[in-house]
Homo-oligomer: A and B are copies of this chain.
Amino acid sequence: MEAKAPSSTLLALSFLLLFISFLSHSQASHGNHIRKPRPKPCKEMVFYFHDIIYNGRNMKNATSAIVGAPAWGNMTILSGMNHFGDVVVFDDPITLDNNLHSPAVGRAQGIYLYDKKEIFTSWLAFSFVFNSTEHVGTLTFAGADPLMNKTRDVSVVGGTGDFFMARGVATLMTDAFEGEVYFRLRVDIKLYECW
């Protein structure tokens, strides 16, 4: 008889534990080291950014400039051999659609470089700096960008503000390019760690 009271206490306690354990379990799920099916992103966003490279005649509109080049290159014209060695600094407008003249919701700022002699391929490290009614904060990206592939995945390595501590994967697609002066990238951002 006297066991009865403790038992119902235990029952309540156990449900509490079950609830806490369940919370822990779901929160910790990104640490599951053998999961193969991709988890669902905690946030998905699509943006475009627009790069107009300085070519000696477009100072007013240029959003980027060659700042490093190999021995055979210069800072006004992308070098031969698939631009191998050219380093570009950029401050590109980010838009919600593919129109260069749409209102910018932020700036893509950082560096990219062409890194292969045989084909066009690049490597990027940059941040999205948001300052709109929608988002305030930054996301920082880094990774290889093999331009000839239709889609390329780079890593989202950190975030601040609205994107505090974020991590994820961003898929880049070349949405348009015009000669060697303008290109537009579509970026599908999927965050898998959101705080």
Task: Show the binding face of A for B, using Cβ within 8 Å.
Answer: 1-4, 6-8, 10-11, 13-14, 16-18, 20-25, 27-35, 38-39, 42, 54, 56, 62, 65-71, 73-76, 84-87, 89-91, 107, 109-111, 113-117, 121, 123, 125-127, 129, 137-138, 140, 142-144, 146, 153-161, 164-165, 167-169, 192-195
Contacts and interface: CB of A to CB of B under 8 A. Distances in A.
Contact of A160 (B8, B109, B127, B154): B154
Mostly, the A contact residues are: mixed
A138 B143 contact: yes
A71 B87 contact: no
Report how many copies the assembly holds. 3
Nearest to A163: B155
A142 B129 contact: no
Contacts of A91: 84, 115-117, 121
Contact of A67 (B10, B70, B125, B137): B70
A31 B39 CA distance: 13
A164 B69 CA distance: 32
A193 to B, nearest CB: 7
B169 A165 contact: yes
